[in-house]
Amino acid sequence: QSALTQPASVSGSPGQSITIPCTGTTSDVGGYDYVSWYQQHPGKAPKLVIYDVTNWPSGVSHRFSGSKSGNTASLTISGLQAEDEADYYCSSYTSSSTQVFGGGTKVTVL
Amino acid sequence: QVQLVQSAAEVKKPGSSVRVSCKASGDTFSNYAISWVRQAPGQGLEWMGGIIPIFGAGNYAQKSQGRVTITADISTSTAYMELSSLRSEDTAVYYCARGRLEGFWGAFDYWGQGTLVTVSS
């Protein structure tokens, strides 16, 4: 199972919106609505910010939103804030009943 | 509130084995998938495998098969990940994480604090 494809880095200014794509195949992202997104600050455990493509866990800001088209899922962060600077990972359920992560995207707030 | 508490950091010799534990509290342990995810220094997340304790059998990433064994003890609400034939590339932080839905492999809503395993001669 190959890792999902994410850009290594994305940047934006405070208040702007950014979008992180996550590309897989019909055996993972394209085949199931079980894509999730995680935020990870340095030295910390990952935190779930989106599950099942578009849903928010309790307590997560709605500035984070998710979508999917075909084999590509996306995470959009609106109204970018300094605290959003972190690494972001997508993950998907697969046809082998396993999970696979993307390579991660470093978000920089300029 | 669900908590996952992992065992302490380990230093191991190449060729040896390591077992990391993950003790859950605050919810029904047996019905939720527990996955193991590792992160090498400066690298991304890698799903290694997991277990739904009530079902018993582990489920592994292709890369993990053969060297990783994941088990669970329902009586103590503890999951274990054993990695054998250690090599330097296995140096990483190992996390346990709980699946959000009962009986299903999906998003991970709770994470342990991570256990650093260092493989060095």
Residues of A in contact with B112 (CB under 8 A): 45
Q: Residue A101 and residue B111: Cβ atoms within 8 Å?
A: no
Give the single-character DSSP code of B88.
G
Residues of B in contact with A89 (CB under 8 A): 44-45
Q: With CA atoms as reference, report the closest residue to A66 among A52, A83, A87.
A: A52
Query: Are β-strands A9-12 and A105-109 bridged in parallel, bridged antiparallel, or unpaired?
Result: parallel
Percentage of chain A exceeding pLDDT 90: 96
- Per-residue pLDDT at B1 exceeds 90: no
How many whole angstroms separate alpha carbon A95 and alpha carbon B45?
A: 20
Q: Tell me the per-residue pLDDT of B49-77, one tens digit each, with 9 for 90 and over.
A: 999 999 988 899 988 888 999 999 999 99
- Per-residue pLDDT at A8 exceeds 80: yes
Q: Residue B45 and residue A97: Cβ atoms within 8 Å?
A: no
**CA quadruple A53, A108, B109, B57: dihedral sign:** positive
How close A2 gets to chain B, by Cα (Å)?
A: 10
3-class SS at A73?
A: strand
How many whole angstroms separate alpha carbon A70 and alpha carbon A83?
A: 31
